């Protein structure tokens, strides 16, 4: 890791953390923050129902991709630009902040300003031109680790964003490719403390894409919190069986609420703060 010695990701300023002051949501700095919502935006009714449920369960940020990078070009590609109106409605009608994935600079130009957090998905972790463009914004950037990236490659991708002036990068471990096929990916749980050793940036975990199975999401989530993660990004859908994408790894509303209660208990044990009052 020598090459990172003089870089901005290095723990030069332990005080620094990503803070989204709006609506009093914090990411990093000892807080535990949950981003939750469907894999993809499907329609207004499902989005609003999910948003209200995840908000009351304790999530602070709504996830819902408007554009989907899909392995097959024949599967659902996302709702598209018009979906931003639905996300804006969610922001108005709930206390949630909104985040979504950006795949291209065109999408960034069109809707970047409307989002509270911009996600760069694992397939774009090494799209250096896109990284530089989001680096020119002042938005928090949730950067997902590429499924085959070493931690050094991951941090150098973060460096592309930081080096052009945007210091608000949130790292996301989302599982890596291994020989194991029972899970969709292999959650590299030690990436959490390792990244914390190497950098001051907040680190969150995606228990949905790392496992690929709703049954394993609670264990992965608790392991992540116990390992020191600053938060989670979790896929939730009111009716996972009917979801347009990733239903098999999405929690239904009741399972999400149950998990949040357990996580809030664990957060107290591991000494993490929550911006929202801890649920009863």
Smallest gap from residue 145 Cβ to ligand PEP (A): 8
Would you call 199 helix, strand, or coil by DSSP? strand
Among the listed ranges 3-11, 117-125, 189-197, 255-263, the one in contact with ligand PEP (CB under 6 A) is 117-125
Would you call 131 helix, strand, or coil by DSSP? helix
Footprint (CB under 6 A) of ligand PEP, residues 149-208: 174, 206
Footprint (CB under 5 A) of Mn ion, residues 35-94: 39
Choosing from 101, 116, 173, 230, the residue that interacts with ligand PEP (CB under 6 A) is: 101
Choosing from 144, 184, 196, 237, the residue that interacts with ligand PEP (CB under 6 A) is: 144
| Residue 13 vs 75, nearer CB to Mn ion | 75
Site map 26..45 versus ligand PEP, x via CB under 6 A: -------------x------
Show contacts of 46-50: CB within 8 Å, 24+ apart. 46/237, 46/238, 46/239, 47/86, 47/87, 47/90, 48/86, 48/89, 48/90, 48/93, 49/238, 49/253, 50/236, 50/237, 50/238, 50/253
Footprint (CB under 5 A) of Mn ion, residues 244-263: 246
Smallest gap from residue 249 Cβ to Mn ion (A): 7
Site map 64..83 versus ligand PEP, x via CB under 6 A: -x---x--------------
CA atoms within 13 A on the CB side of 101: 26
> Comparing C-alpha atoms, which of 125, 96, 87, 90 is closest to residue 33?
96
| Residue 39 vs 259, nearer CB to Mn ion | 39
- Contact between 238 and 46 under an 8 Å Cβ cutoff? The reply is yes
Residues of the shown chain interacting with Mn ion in the complex, contacts defined by CB under 5 A = 39, 246
Q: Can you give the binding site for ligand PEP, defined by CB under 6 A?
A: 39, 65, 69, 101, 121-123, 144, 174, 206, 209
């Amino acid at each position: 890791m020598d090459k990172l010695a003089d870089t901005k990701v290095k723990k030069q300023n332990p005080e620094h953390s990503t803070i989204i002051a709006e609506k009093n949501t914090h990411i990093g700095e000892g807080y535990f923050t949950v981003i939750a919502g469907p894999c993809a935006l499907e329609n207004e009714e499902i989005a609003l129902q999910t948003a209200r449920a995840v908000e009351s369960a304790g999530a602070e940020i709504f996830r819902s991709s408007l554009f989907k990078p899909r392995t097959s070009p024949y599967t659902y590609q996302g709702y598209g630009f018009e979906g931003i109106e639905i996300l804006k409605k969610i922001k108005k009608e709930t206390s949630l902040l909104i985040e979504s994935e950006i795949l291209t600079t065109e999408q960034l130009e069109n809707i970047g300003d409307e989002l509270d957090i911009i996600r760069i998905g694992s397939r774009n972790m090494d799209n250096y031109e896109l990284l530089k463009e989001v680096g020119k914004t002042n938005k928090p950037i949730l950067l997902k680790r590429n499924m085959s990236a070493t931690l050094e490659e991951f941090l150098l991708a973060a460096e592309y964003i930081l080096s052009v002036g945007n210091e608000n990068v949130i790292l996301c471990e989302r599982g890596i490719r291994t020989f194991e096929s029972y899970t969709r990916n292999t959650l590299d749980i030690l990436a959490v403390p390792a990244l914390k050793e190497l950098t001051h940036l907040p680190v969150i975990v995606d228990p949905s894409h790392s496992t690929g199975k709703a049954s394993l999401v609670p264990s992965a989530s608790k392991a992540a919190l116990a390992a020191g993660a600053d938060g989670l990004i979790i896929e939730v859908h009111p009716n996972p069986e009917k979801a347009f994408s990733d239903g098999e790894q999405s929690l239904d509303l009741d399972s999400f609420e149950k998990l949040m209660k357990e996580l809030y208990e664990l957060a107290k044990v591991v000494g993490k703060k929550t911006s929202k009052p801890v649920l009863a």
